[in-house]
């Protein structure tokens, strides 16, 4: 692969822009400044720098973000800034074309915080968001009123939301304090957690997603920060095959 094509695939601009980065001496591979846009490189495992920032070639992007409150999971937000402004430009432009860049794996409301995955792998996004796959998502809730056993029982048994014929229920639900509970869902309907809690006579004051599958939000990932998913993180996502593994098992 030519270095200009590699940079284009990783989101550093059009091929002309990427060629210009190389010609200006702004790209290094293994500490060596490159000057020819057509210079061939081996992409797998390649570490390179662009304008002094280190990168590792990633055929597909798998990220986690500690989403802050006050951000929308949209590229065209309304009253609030977009979560995509929290990411460096190359991640927002990867691949080029109409569907360039990483996409949020499902959405969190603007006032909801916590674990948000992003990827440019459509199959991975579908696997994580399709209700057929029942990927558990764990939410930490602060309620306005005290939570009692009756409310927990109703959340587990199922509540009817006005735009659904069948009851929706929590896969698991437990009290963690007088006004706090931990709720697990395996689907993601519109404002589902808030509407379920409202249906049992309470109100969500704060909502935080702490886990997806067996992947928990790391304690050392600060609010508003992101990082690449490691192979172990991918294995923790409840049956999601590690995309870095050799399909032949070798």
Residue range 31-87, pLDDT digits in tens: 899 999 999 999 999 999 999 999 999 999 999 999 999 999 999 998 999 999 999
Radius of gyration of the chain (CA): 21
* Domain 62-131+214-235 part of CATH 3.30.70.580: yes
| Assigned CATH class of 136-212 | alpha beta
**Tokens read off for 38:** 């057509």
Helix (H, G, I), strand (E, B) or coil at 99: coil
Task: Check pLDDT > 50 for residue 121.
Answer: yes
Q: Is the pLDDT of residue 130 over 90?
A: no
Q: Can 62-131+214-235 and 136-212 be said to share one CATH topology?
A: yes
Residue 96 has pLDDT above 50, yes or no: yes
12 has pLDDT over 50:
yes
Among candidate residues 213, 244, 13, the one with its CA nearest the CA of residue 117: 213
Diameter of the chain measured on Cα atoms: 69
Domain boundaries, the chain: 3-56, 62-131+214-235, 136-212
- The pairing of strands 27-29 and 32-33 is antiparallel
CATH superfamily of 3-56: RNA-binding S4 domain (3.10.290.10)
pLDDT computed for residue 176 by the predictor: 96
pTM here is 0.90
Q: Using the predicted structure, report yes or no on whether residue 27 has a pLDDT greater than 80.
A: yes
Tell me which residues are annotated as active site.
Answer: 109
């Amino acid at each position: 692969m030519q270095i200009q094509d590699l940079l284009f695939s990783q989101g550093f601009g059009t091929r002309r822009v990427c060629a210009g980065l190389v010609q200006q001496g702004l790209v290094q591979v293994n500490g060596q400044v490159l000057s020819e846009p057509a210079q061939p490189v081996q992409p797998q495992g390649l570490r390179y720098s662009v304008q002094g920032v280190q990168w590792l070639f990633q055929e597909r992007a798998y990220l986690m973000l500690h989403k802050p409150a006050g951000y929308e999971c949209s590229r065209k937000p309304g009253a609030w800034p977009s979560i995509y402004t929290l990411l460096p430009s190359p991640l927002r432009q990867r691949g080029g074309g109409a569907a360039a860049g990483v996409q949020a794996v499902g959405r969190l409301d603007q006032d909801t915080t916590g674990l948000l995955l992003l990827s440019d792998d459509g199959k991975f996004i579908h696997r994580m968001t399709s209700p057929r796959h029942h990927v558990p998502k764990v939410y930490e809730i602060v309620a306005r009123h005290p939570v009692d056993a009756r409310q927990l029982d109703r959340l587990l048994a199922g509540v009817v939301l006005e735009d659904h014929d069948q009851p929706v229920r929590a896969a698991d639900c437990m009290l963690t304090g007088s006004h706090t509970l931990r709720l697990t869902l395996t689907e993601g309907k519109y404002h589902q957690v808030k509407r379920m809690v409202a249906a049992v006579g309470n109100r969500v004051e704060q909502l935080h997603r702490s886990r997806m599958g067996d992947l928990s939000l790391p304690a050392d990932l600060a609010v508003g920060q992101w990082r690449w998913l490691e192979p172990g993180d991918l294995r923790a996502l409840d049956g999601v095959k590690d995309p870095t593994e050799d399909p032949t098992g070798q």
